[in-house]
């Protein structure tokens, strides 16, 4: 059972709740998964949400995360989003 949902994580971070489709991906089983989505559909947002959700629930450690993207720009954006959100989550948990 999950201790905290993707919607709860978003609320703690002051972010909009994920769409039902995004939530299904974020909270999906802990296994490799292919998500096909077009440009501007929220892939990076969903990947960041999944990583933060997995960390928040203790399902993985930071050293177990590998995010693959097609460009260095997308990889940098993904890294930045995750770093900022993890910091915020740690602060929220301390309050």
pLDDT at residue number 32: 83
Tell me the C-alpha distance between 75 and 81, whole Å.
10
Q: Is the pLDDT of residue 95 over 80?
A: no
- pLDDT tens, position by position, 18-68: 999 999 999 999 988 888 888 888 888 999 999 999 999 999 999 999 888
Q: Above 70 in pLDDT, residue 1?
A: no
Of residues 17 and 43, which shows the higher confidence score?
A: 17
Q: What are the b/e assignments for 17-30, b being 16+ CB within 10 Å? A: ebeeebbebbbeee
Q: Tell me, what's the pLDDT at 52?
A: 96
- The pTM for the full model equals 0.89
> Which pLDDT score, from 0 to 100, does residue 64 have?
93
């Amino acid at each position: 059972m999950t201790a905290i949902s993707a919607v709860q994580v978003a609320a703690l971070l002051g972010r909009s709740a994920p769409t039902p489709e995004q939530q299904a991906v974020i909270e999906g089983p802990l296994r490799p998964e292919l998500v096909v989505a077009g440009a501007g559909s929220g892939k990076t947002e969903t990947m960041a949400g999944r990583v933060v959700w997995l960390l928040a629930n203790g399902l993985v450690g930071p050293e177990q995360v590998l995010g693959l993207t097609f460009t260095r720009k997308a990889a940098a954006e993904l890294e930045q989003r995750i770093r900022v959100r993890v910091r915020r989550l740690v602060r929220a948990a301390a309050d």
